[in-house]
Amino acid sequence: MNIINFAESNSVLNQYVAEIRDVRIQRDRLRFRRNLERIGEIMAYEMSKTFTYSAKEVDTPLGTAAVQTPDNSLILSTILRAGLPFHQGFLSYFDTAENAFVSAYRKYKDTLKFDINIEYIASPRIDGKTLVITDPMLATGGSMELTYRAMLTKGTPSVIHVASIIASKEAVTHIAESFPQEHTTIWCAAIDPGLNDHSYIVPGLGDAGDLAYGEKD
């Protein structure tokens, strides 16, 4: 299994991660959502380098050009609601991809203990396709695992990409143990050291869904 941590190299992506973490800048919801999109766009570009390519002929006004373009049949899946801006960044680059949406949320038993519930999935068939599952925050990895299990009710993908902006080390380990080893790549803008008592990533950035769309009642 490949694990890509963009924080280990220098690029403009780090600037956008810094802004979504910053307690002052992140209060601007429009900028916060746009930064999630930007990170998705950069990840999509880097991810595209791993796809399968072949030459196609394109007719121009003056002749014919051979162009290497990707052959992968893509499914972009995201976890509602925080995943929507991040997903849109991928969709801006992979504009012909099919899309899937999964509702996964924490249902608390008390202030610290919770189960993860999945109540909704809308997806095409994924047999033999390249599945990209996006979620900006990977805290425990539980939501991502259950989302993957839910997607398997629609078929078996040939390749899996798990894309997150900020993940905990615990979540990365959990995903590595729960997903097919030979066919999965984990992409993270940053991997943080741990979780607090409420299973939020530390230092993290807070609740991505609330920052993007406002607090829940």
Q: Which domains are assigned to the chain?
A: 2-52+69-213 (3.40.50.2020)
Q: What is the pTM of this model?
A: 0.92
pLDDT at 112 over 60: no
- β 194-195/201-202 pair status: antiparallel
Q: Is 155 left (phi over 0), alpha (psi -120 to 50) or beta?
A: left
Give the position of tokens 């741990």.
194
Sign of CA dihedral 12, 201, 153, 99: negative
Alpha-carbon distance of 173 to 32, in angstroms, equals 28
Mean pLDDT of the chain: 94
Quick one: pLDDT at residue 120? 84
Per the listing, tokens 């900028």 go with: 31
* In the chain, alpha helices (H): 13-21, 29-48, 83-93, 142-151, 169-178, 208-213
Averaged pLDDT for residues 13-33: 97
The reported pLDDT for the residue numbered 82 is 87
- 114 pLDDT higher than 90: no
Enter the DSSP assignment of 26: G
Encode pLDDT of 136-164 as tens digits: 999 999 889 989 999 999 999 999 999 99
Residue 153 and residue 172: Cα distance in Å, rounded?
23
Residue 173 has which token pair?
A: 């380990």
pLDDT tops 70 at residue 76: yes
Q: What are the beta bridge partners of residue 150? A: none
Distance CA 43, CA 60 (A): 30
Mean pLDDT score, 21-47: 98
